[in-house]
Amino acid sequence: MTGEPSSGLWRPGAPTWDSRWRALAAQVYAGVRDRNLGREAAFDLACFLMDWAQPDPVISELAQESAEGSHPERLLELAPAGHP
């Protein structure tokens, strides 16, 4: 099932309600909540957002920070910001 862009945050056809998205969103949410977000989950979120969300510089920064992994606290700050 594909999500309908209700507020213009998503590109047309974005699969925002499928099981893959729900699992990824839950994983990132739990990681941020527990202050233990894994770089792989953050990178997966950034890739999903680059594919399906409207362009935003925060998404690119999330991808870069998750690939470099030099500032875990910054990663925690960026993940919720990059999540529409």
Distance CA 33, CA 47 (A): 21
18 domain residue, yes or no: no
55 domain residue, yes or no: yes
Task: pLDDT band for 39, please (50, 70, 90 cuts).
Answer: very high
**Least-confidence region, from 3-7, 50-54, 78-82:** 3-7
Looking at the structure of the chain, the number of domains it has is 1
What type of residue sits at position 32? V
Domain limits for position 62: 38-84
4 domain residue, yes or no: no
Task: Give the predicted TM-score (pTM) of the model.
Answer: 0.79
Can you give the pLDDT at residue 66?
A: 93
Contact 53, 10 (CB under 8 A): yes
Q: What is the pLDDT of residues 18-33, one digit of tens each?
A: 898 899 999 999 999 9
Mean pLDDT of the chain: 84
3 domain residue, yes or no: no
46 domain residue, yes or no: yes
Q: Is 20 helix (H, G, I), strand (E, B) or coil?
A: helix
